[in-house]
Amino acid sequence: MGEDPEENENLLRLLIKRAEILQTAENKIPSICEIVDSIPELSHALFYCAPKQVEDLTRRLGINKHLRVHRFTYQENHVLRRKLLENFDQGILQALIAIKCLDEGVDIPSTKIAFFLSSSSNPREFVQRRGRILRNHPGKKSAEIYDLIAVPPVSYILDSNIERNILRRELLRFKEFAENSLNHNSAYEEIWELSKTFGIFDL
């Protein structure tokens, strides 16, 4: 940021576009669908995504994969939201597709599995989201979290510290999730391979 208001506004627009690229990278939804296919009986699943991904993800999971899903966004009123949470808790709905409104004090302790397509780089926010998934609930001994991170193609060379710092933040978030997980060794292997590929060794 500088003293020129117009230049600052242009920079802000570029920063917003960059954040959208990280959140809505086109391979995220196909990757999620592959993971879903590998789960025999999906239930009590929560999908966090960006607003631009809601329609596509709802269509792919609900119509293409015949899962009982519903969106949980700012467009649903309080009565419908309460009903959706009840149906989710009872297993009538297999999954909820949500954006930030689930950060607003909504508690869903019955969640068994969560997919983060759109994650915040704010440590407080993603720790809060993780905490919502890991709440105690009768019959629930553990929970699964899939955090999708956006990385450049392997053939891409990171020429600038800006690009490297973006990827470092993505990997640091993944590391935060991995540290206390049951499968931390295999999770660390994933980020170690990426770290070696792109020359990021200060995680």
Sequence-separated (6 or more) residues with CB below 8 Å from residue 110: 44, 88, 89, 137, 140
Residue 62 lies in a domain: yes
pLDDT tens per residue across span 153-191: 777 766 777 778 888 888 888 888 888 889 989 988 888
Question: How far is the C-alpha of 155 from the C-alpha of 152, rounded, in Å?
Answer: 8
Which CATH number does the domain housing residue 142 bear?
Answer: 3.40.50.300
Nearest to 94 by CA among 146, 58, 118, 132: 58
Q: Judge whether residue 203 has pLDDT over 80.
A: no
Work out the mean pLDDT of the chain and round it to a whole number.
86
Nearest to 147 by CA among 122, 131, 130, 123: 130
Residue 165 lies in a domain: no
Residue 171 lies in a domain: no
Q: Judge whether residue 129 has pLDDT over 80.
A: no
* Residue 60 confidence (pLDDT): 95
Residue 177 lies in a domain: no
- The domain in which residue 52 lies consists of 5-150
Structural domains in the chain (count): 1
pLDDT tens per residue across span 47-69: 999 888 999 999 999 999 999 99
Residue 63 lies in a domain: yes
Rg (CA), the chain: 18
The sign one gets for the Cα dihedral 134, 137, 143, 145 is negative
Residue 181 lies in a domain: no
Q: Judge whether residue 16 has pLDDT over 60.
A: yes
* Residue 165 confidence (pLDDT): 83
Residue 104 lies in a domain: yes
Residue 192 lies in a domain: no
Q: Which two tokens stand for residue 115?
A: 């997919």
pLDDT tens per residue across span 70-113: 999 888 888 998 999 999 999 999 999 988 655 566 778 899 99
